[in-house]
């Protein structure tokens, strides 16, 4: 979080301590971010849930509404937000647009994917908790979406990596029951349980040695093709993901069952965040 020191001609930015009661320290605050939700209370006022770098999510009043801030508080638009914390409320004072992601709005699959990310984040983030690694993942994913990369592959990558940031992602390397490597190369399918993907021994066992988290929607198994794509999409660096995207997109687009399987697996990954 950055707090602006008034009267300092060269910006005077300094870090301040996390705020204990979901309220920022009194004064002006400036940070990059994006509006996740907007509620119109009247034609000239509203409230926004804003996801900010260095701060996390906040609810801020937006006096003047969309007419005053124009595209700055539209969905998917990233900006540099200037906020003012009074003793009672947080107000939005100004937004300088950084990226409007207009190209994302022109493609229905990309639009739906971006809308899902905004919805999942607005449901799961807690006010007052900084999530800088997650906002970086979100920004990078939106950039890749705007570059016309596969929304399905980006969605799987986003869901798994977010779950991994929170330490709840199913392992793509080790069996959660016994810790042995998943060794997917010579298997036609990789079985799964609510705890994650299983090795052959644990999959054969009638009763897992320990219960996993209560995730509804765990697939019985995923095919080797799907698992390979999930691993590539989820684990690789952004650079490697972009390099392999065309090949993986081609494999997925030739198989409707594979596409469906990946879609369902992405939903399963989101369920780990509940």
Binding-site ranges for Zn ion (CB under 5 A): 175, 177-178, 199, 202
Q: Give the residue with the Cβ less far from Zn ion, 168 or 178.
A: 178
Closest CA to 228 of 171, 169, 181, 185: 185
Give, as one character, the DSSP assignment of residue 73: G
Q: Give the residue with the Cβ less far from Zn ion, 6 or 210.
A: 210
* Measured distance CA(183)–CA(200) in Å, rounded: 9
Least Cβ distance, residue 207 to Zn ion (angstroms): 13
Which helix (H) or strand (E) element contains residue 24? none
Least Cβ distance, residue 265 to Zn ion (angstroms): 19
Residue 177's SS3 state is coil
**Neighbouring C-alpha atoms within 13 Å toward the C-beta of 266:** 22
Least Cβ distance, residue 136 to Zn ion (angstroms): 33
Q: Give the residue with the Cβ less far from Zn ion, 199 or 232.
A: 199
Q: E-assigned strands of the chain?
A: 2-4, 13-15, 27-42, 45-52, 56-61, 78-85, 90-99, 189-193, 196-197, 221-223
Q: Give the residue with the Cβ less far from Zn ion, 4 or 178.
A: 178
**C-alpha dist (Å) from residue 235 to 58, 102, 136, 139, 186:** 30, 28, 16, 17, 20
| Beta carbons within 8 Å of 179's beta carbon, 6+ residues apart | none
* Measured distance CA(246)–CA(255) in Å, rounded: 15
Q: Give the residue with the Cβ less far from Zn ion, 178 or 251.
A: 178
Least Cβ distance, residue 3 to Zn ion (angstroms): 50
Q: Give the residue with the Cβ less far from Zn ion, 150 or 193.
A: 193
Structure tokens at 53: 């770098």
Least Cβ distance, residue 271 to Zn ion (angstroms): 21
Least Cβ distance, residue 153 to Zn ion (angstroms): 28
Least Cβ distance, residue 184 to Zn ion (angstroms): 13
End-to-end CA distance of the chain: 26
Q: Give the residue with the Cβ less far from Zn ion, 197 or 270.
A: 197
């Amino acid at each position: 979080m950055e707090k602006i020191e008034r009267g300092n001609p060269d910006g005077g930015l300094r870090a301040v301590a996390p705020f204990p009661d979901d309220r920022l320290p009194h004064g002006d605050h400036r940070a990059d971010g994006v509006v996740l939700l907007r509620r119109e209370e009247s034609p000239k006022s509203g409230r926004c849930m804003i996801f900010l770098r260095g701060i996390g999510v906040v609810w801020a009043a937006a006096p003047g509404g969309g007419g005053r801030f124009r595209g700055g508080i539209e969905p998917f638009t990233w900006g540099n937000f200037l906020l003012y914390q009074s003793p009672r409320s947080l107000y939005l004072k100004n937004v300088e647009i950084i990226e409007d992601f207009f190209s994302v709005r022109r493609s229905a699959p990309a639009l739906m994917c971006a809308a899902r990310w905004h919805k999942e984040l607005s449901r799961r983030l807690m006010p007052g908790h900084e999530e800088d690694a997650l906002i970086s993942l979100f920004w990078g994913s939106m950039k890749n979406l705007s570059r016309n990369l596969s929304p399905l592959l980006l969605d799987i990558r986003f869901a798994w990596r977010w779950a991994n940031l929170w330490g709840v992602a199913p392992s793509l390397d080790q069996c959660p029951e016994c810790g042995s490597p998943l060794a997917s190369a010579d298997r036609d399918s990789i079985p799964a349980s609510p705890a994650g993907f299983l090795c052959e021994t644990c999959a054969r066992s009638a009763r897992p040695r320990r219960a996993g988290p209560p995730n509804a929607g765990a697939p019985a198994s995923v095919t080797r093709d799907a698992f390979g794509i999930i691993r590539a999409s989820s684990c690789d660096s952004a650079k490697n993901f972009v390099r392999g995207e065309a090949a993986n997109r081609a494999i997925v687009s030739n198989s409707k069952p594979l596409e469906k399987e990946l879609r369902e697996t992405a939903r399963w990954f989101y369920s780990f965040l509940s």
